[in-house]
Structure 1
Protein backbone atom coordinates (compact mmCIF):
# COMPACT_ATOMS: atom_id res chain seq x y z
CA UNK A 1 0.00 0.00 0.00
CA UNK A 2 1.40 3.39 -0.98
CA UNK A 3 0.54 5.66 1.94
CA UNK A 4 2.32 8.63 0.33
CA UNK A 5 -0.76 9.30 -1.82
CA UNK A 6 -3.11 9.37 1.18
CA UNK A 7 -4.46 12.59 2.74
CA UNK A 8 -3.16 13.23 6.29
CA UNK A 9 -5.80 14.03 8.89
CA UNK A 10 -5.68 17.52 10.41
CA UNK A 11 -5.35 17.85 14.21
CA UNK A 12 -9.04 18.83 14.35
CA UNK A 13 -9.95 15.50 12.69
CA UNK A 14 -8.18 13.43 15.37
CA UNK A 15 -11.43 12.58 17.17
CA UNK A 16 -12.92 9.31 18.32
CA UNK A 17 -15.67 9.20 15.64
CA UNK A 18 -13.03 9.57 12.90
CA UNK A 19 -10.49 7.14 14.38
CA UNK A 20 -12.73 4.32 15.66
CA UNK A 21 -11.87 0.97 14.06
CA UNK A 22 -9.00 2.49 12.06
CA UNK A 23 -6.34 -0.05 11.14
CA UNK A 24 -2.78 0.71 12.29
CA UNK A 25 0.03 -0.42 9.98
CA UNK A 26 3.63 -0.85 11.05
CA UNK A 27 6.79 -1.18 8.98
CA UNK A 28 6.35 -3.26 5.80
CA UNK A 29 2.57 -2.65 6.02
CA UNK A 30 2.17 -5.26 8.75
CA UNK A 31 -1.16 -4.67 10.50
CA UNK A 32 -0.32 -3.81 14.12
CA UNK A 33 -3.88 -3.46 15.41
CA UNK A 34 -7.16 -1.57 15.34
CA UNK A 35 -8.25 1.57 17.19
CA UNK A 36 -10.66 0.63 20.00
CA UNK A 37 -11.17 4.11 21.46
CA UNK A 38 -9.51 7.40 22.20
CA UNK A 39 -8.52 9.25 25.38
CA UNK A 40 -8.49 12.98 24.67
CA UNK A 41 -8.39 14.30 21.14
CA UNK A 42 -5.91 15.89 18.80
CA UNK A 43 -2.14 15.32 18.85
CA UNK A 44 -2.03 15.19 22.68
CA UNK A 45 -4.50 12.32 22.93
CA UNK A 46 -3.92 8.63 23.39
CA UNK A 47 -5.28 5.95 21.11
CA UNK A 48 -6.24 2.63 22.66
CA UNK A 49 -5.30 -0.02 20.11
CA UNK A 50 -6.34 -3.68 20.16
CA UNK A 51 -3.17 -5.54 19.18
CA UNK A 52 -2.99 -9.14 18.01
CA UNK A 53 -5.76 -11.65 18.29
CA UNK A 54 -8.19 -12.61 15.58
CA UNK A 55 -11.57 -10.90 15.13
CA UNK A 56 -11.14 -9.24 18.50
CA UNK A 57 -10.52 -12.52 20.33
CA UNK A 58 -7.26 -12.71 22.23
CA UNK A 59 -6.32 -9.13 21.47
CA UNK A 60 -4.62 -6.89 24.02
CA UNK A 61 -5.53 -3.19 24.43
CA UNK A 62 -2.50 -0.88 24.61
CA UNK A 63 -2.24 2.92 24.73
CA UNK A 64 -0.24 4.66 22.00
CA UNK A 65 0.20 8.43 21.81
CA UNK A 66 -1.58 10.01 18.86
CA UNK A 67 1.71 11.78 18.09
CA UNK A 68 3.33 8.36 17.39
CA UNK A 69 0.75 7.55 14.73
CA UNK A 70 0.26 9.09 11.31
CA UNK A 71 -3.48 9.09 10.61
CA UNK A 72 -4.63 9.51 7.00
CA UNK A 73 -7.46 8.75 4.58
CA UNK A 74 -7.04 6.56 1.52
CA UNK A 75 -8.66 7.13 -1.87
CA UNK A 76 -11.94 5.62 -0.55
CA UNK A 77 -11.97 7.89 2.51
CA UNK A 78 -11.06 5.06 4.88
CA UNK A 79 -9.09 6.31 7.90
CA UNK A 80 -5.99 4.33 8.89
CA UNK A 81 -2.59 5.05 10.39
CA UNK A 82 1.04 4.16 10.03
CA UNK A 83 3.60 3.86 12.81
CA UNK A 84 7.27 2.96 13.16
CA UNK A 85 6.24 0.44 15.83
CA UNK A 86 6.08 -3.24 14.91
CA UNK A 87 3.31 -5.56 16.09
CA UNK A 88 5.75 -7.21 18.53
CA UNK A 89 6.74 -3.81 19.96
CA UNK A 90 3.07 -2.88 20.38
CA UNK A 91 2.32 -6.24 22.05
CA UNK A 92 5.17 -5.54 24.49
CA UNK A 93 3.49 -2.34 25.74
CA UNK A 94 1.66 -2.59 29.07
CA UNK A 95 -1.97 -3.62 28.83
CA UNK A 96 -4.38 -0.70 29.05
CA UNK A 97 -7.08 -1.09 31.69
CA UNK A 98 -10.29 0.91 31.26
Structure 2
Protein backbone atom coordinates (compact mmCIF):
# COMPACT_ATOMS: atom_id res chain seq x y z
CA UNK A 1 0.00 0.00 0.00
CA UNK A 2 1.27 3.44 -0.89
CA UNK A 3 0.90 5.61 2.20
CA UNK A 4 2.36 8.66 0.44
CA UNK A 5 -1.12 9.41 -0.89
CA UNK A 6 -4.61 9.04 0.55
CA UNK A 7 -6.14 9.42 3.97
CA UNK A 8 -5.55 7.38 7.11
CA UNK A 9 -9.19 6.25 7.31
CA UNK A 10 -9.10 5.03 3.69
CA UNK A 11 -5.93 3.04 4.35
CA UNK A 12 -7.46 1.53 7.49
CA UNK A 13 -10.59 0.52 5.55
CA UNK A 14 -8.44 -1.13 2.88
CA UNK A 15 -6.35 -2.98 5.47
CA UNK A 16 -9.47 -4.25 7.23
CA UNK A 17 -10.92 -5.40 3.89
CA UNK A 18 -7.71 -7.25 2.97
CA UNK A 19 -7.59 -8.96 6.38
CA UNK A 20 -11.28 -9.90 6.16
CA UNK A 21 -10.92 -11.45 2.71
CA UNK A 22 -7.70 -13.19 3.75
CA UNK A 23 -9.45 -14.76 6.74
CA UNK A 24 -12.52 -15.68 4.68
CA UNK A 25 -10.53 -17.56 2.03
CA UNK A 26 -8.03 -19.00 4.50
CA UNK A 27 -4.90 -17.59 2.90
CA UNK A 28 -2.40 -15.60 4.94
CA UNK A 29 -1.71 -12.24 3.35
CA UNK A 30 1.13 -9.83 3.99
CA UNK A 31 0.49 -6.13 3.55
CA UNK A 32 3.51 -4.13 2.43
CA UNK A 33 3.55 -0.43 3.28
CA UNK A 34 5.37 2.09 1.10
CA UNK A 35 6.17 5.13 3.23
CA UNK A 36 7.18 8.43 1.74
CA UNK A 37 10.58 9.88 2.46
CA UNK A 38 11.11 13.42 3.64
CA UNK A 39 9.22 16.05 1.67
CA UNK A 40 11.49 18.68 0.20
CA UNK A 41 9.66 21.99 0.17
CA UNK A 42 10.97 24.74 -2.06
CA UNK A 43 10.76 28.48 -1.64
CA UNK A 44 9.42 31.22 -3.87
CA UNK A 45 10.84 32.25 -7.23
CA UNK A 46 11.73 35.76 -8.41
CA UNK A 47 9.41 35.49 -11.41
CA UNK A 48 6.86 33.31 -9.61
CA UNK A 49 7.99 30.16 -11.45
CA UNK A 50 10.95 28.74 -13.36
CA UNK A 51 11.43 26.74 -16.52
CA UNK A 52 13.72 23.72 -16.27
CA UNK A 53 14.99 21.68 -19.18
CA UNK A 54 16.38 18.16 -19.06
CA UNK A 55 20.09 18.40 -18.30
CA UNK A 56 19.91 21.80 -16.56
CA UNK A 57 22.23 22.22 -13.59
CA UNK A 58 20.64 23.80 -10.53
CA UNK A 59 21.71 24.58 -6.99
CA UNK A 60 19.52 23.64 -4.03
CA UNK A 61 20.28 26.11 -1.24
CA UNK A 62 18.97 25.85 2.32
CA UNK A 63 19.79 29.51 2.98
CA UNK A 64 16.69 31.68 2.47
CA UNK A 65 16.74 33.16 -1.03
CA UNK A 66 14.48 33.82 -3.99
CA UNK A 67 14.72 31.11 -6.60
CA UNK A 68 15.94 31.58 -10.16
CA UNK A 69 16.34 29.25 -13.15
CA UNK A 70 19.52 27.85 -11.58
CA UNK A 71 18.93 28.35 -7.84
CA UNK A 72 16.17 26.79 -5.76
CA UNK A 73 15.69 27.42 -2.05
CA UNK A 74 14.93 24.27 -0.06
CA UNK A 75 13.45 24.50 3.42
CA UNK A 76 14.80 21.00 4.23
CA UNK A 77 17.77 21.98 6.42
CA UNK A 78 19.28 18.47 6.60
CA UNK A 79 19.46 18.08 2.82
CA UNK A 80 23.25 18.42 2.48
CA UNK A 81 23.88 16.02 5.37
CA UNK A 82 21.60 13.34 3.93
CA UNK A 83 22.73 13.23 0.30
CA UNK A 84 25.95 12.21 -1.39
CA UNK A 85 27.34 12.25 -4.91
CA UNK A 86 24.94 10.48 -7.25
CA UNK A 87 21.93 10.62 -4.91
CA UNK A 88 18.62 11.09 -6.71
CA UNK A 89 16.43 13.88 -5.37
CA UNK A 90 12.77 13.77 -6.35
CA UNK A 91 10.47 16.78 -6.19
CA UNK A 92 6.74 17.05 -6.85
CA UNK A 93 6.13 13.34 -6.07
CA UNK A 94 8.77 12.29 -8.59
CA UNK A 95 7.74 14.57 -11.44
CA UNK A 96 11.14 16.27 -11.19
CA UNK A 97 14.29 14.22 -10.72
CA UNK A 98 17.70 15.65 -9.89
CA UNK A 99 21.07 13.97 -9.38
CA UNK A 100 23.58 15.29 -6.84
CA UNK A 101 26.79 16.31 -8.63
CA UNK A 102 28.45 18.05 -5.68
CA UNK A 103 27.67 19.50 -2.29
CA UNK A 104 29.22 22.17 -0.12
TM-score (norm: length of structure 1): 0.23
- Give the structure, 1 or 2, with the largest relative contact order (CA under 8 Å, sep 6 or more): 1
**Which structure: larger Rg?**
2
**Higher share of residues assigned strand:** 1
TM-score (norm: length of structure 2): 0.23
